[in-house]
Amino acid sequence: MICPICKNTFLLSQKSAPVTGSAEDLQTARNLEDTLRAHASECIGMAANMIGVRKRIIIVGLGPAAIVMLNPVIESGAGEYEASEGCLSLTGSRTVRRFRQITVSWQDTAMRQQKRQFSGLPAQIIQHECDHLEGILV
Ligand SMILES: [Zn+2]
């Protein structure tokens, strides 16, 4: 299901809750995937609160594939730099500090524990979406 994008900064500023991988969580993940695809020309990642669900679910678009991460945690980062980012929920772009390389752990949609290193654009997307989970907007 393609969902409307939440632009309410009060709602977007609230922290998201951990997920258990319930049927409802998986539906949210599918909705995120559909909504991301519908905005593919302007958006490469989304957090669940952007479609109005305050849960710790993000999606990272990597070319034709997209990774859904439940309860993602950035364990470490290296190579800080300044990036300019926009957000589908906001207008304009802002300057933020990001790491070039990060190690992320998360659960996949089968609740299997995953851990991987990302760099470059995927790393930047993950940092942006994890900020959304904390209620931080660029
Ligand atoms: Zn955003």
- Sequence spans of domains, the chain: 9-133
Active-site annotation holds for 129:
yes
Q: Which of 42, 80, 129, 134 is catalytic?
A: 129
How many angstroms is it from 112 CA to the middle of ligand 1? 26
pLDDT digits (tens, 9 = 90+) for 60-119: 997 778 999 999 999 999 999 999 999 999 999 999 999 999 999 999 999 999 999 999
Beta-carbon neighbours within 5 Å of ion ligand 1: 87
Confidence of residue 138 (pLDDT cuts 50, 70, 90): confident
Q: What letter does residue 68 receive in the DSSP assignment?
A: E
The tokens describing 84, both together, are 């300019």
How many angstroms is it from 47 CA to the middle of ligand 1? 7
How many angstroms is it from 60 CA to the middle of ligand 1? 11
Mean pLDDT for 8-20 is 97
How many angstroms is it from 79 CA to the middle of ligand 1? 22
Contact assessment for residue 132 and residue 50, using Cβ atoms and an 8 Å cutoff? yes
Give backbone dihedrals phi and psi of 118, rounded to 5 degrees, phi first. -130, 150
How many angstroms is it from 97 CA to the middle of ligand 1? 14
- Architecture category of domain 9-133 in CATH: Alpha-Beta Complex (3.90)
Contact assessment for residue 17 and residue 55, using Cβ atoms and an 8 Å cutoff? yes
Mean model confidence pLDDT for the chain: 96
Stated pTM of the model: 0.96
Cα distance between residue 108 and residue 93, in whole Å: 30
**pLDDT for residue 29:** 97
How many angstroms is it from 113 CA to the middle of ligand 1? 25
